[in-house]
């Protein structure tokens, strides 16, 4: 659902990525799934980054 909301917005990184995929000939649903995967990767990256920061703070305390 997050990817669908991002694609429906008029601007943003995921909308640009979606438009680029559709322009290259991908089906709209395939492009939407690619955006959902990219959003998941962004989320996981931020989680890992937060987790590393939290562990460093816990060790120094």
Residue 44 has pLDDT above 70, yes or no: yes
Q: Are 31 and 22 in contact (CB under 8 A)?
A: yes
Residue 42 has pLDDT above 70, yes or no: yes
Question: Which pLDDT belongs to residue 51?
Answer: 85
pTM: 0.76
Q: How confident is the model at residue 61 (pLDDT cuts 50, 70, 90)?
A: low
d(CA 46, CA 3): 17
d(CA 47, CA 38): 14
Q: Are 15 and 32 in contact (CB under 8 A)?
A: no
Q: Comparing 59 with 27, which gets the higher pLDDT?
A: 27
- The CB density around residue 36, as the number of other CB atoms within 10 Å, is 17
Structural domain including 55 reads 2-60
Count of the separate structural domains present in the chain: 1
């Amino acid at each position: 659902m997050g990817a669908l909301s991002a694609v429906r917005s008029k601007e943003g990184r995921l909308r640009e990525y979606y438009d680029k995929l559709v322009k290259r000939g991908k089906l709209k649903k395939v492009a939407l799934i690619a955006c959902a995967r990219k959003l998941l990767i962004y989320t996981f990256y931020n989680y890992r980054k937060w987790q590393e920061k939290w562990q460093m703070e816990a060790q120094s305390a």
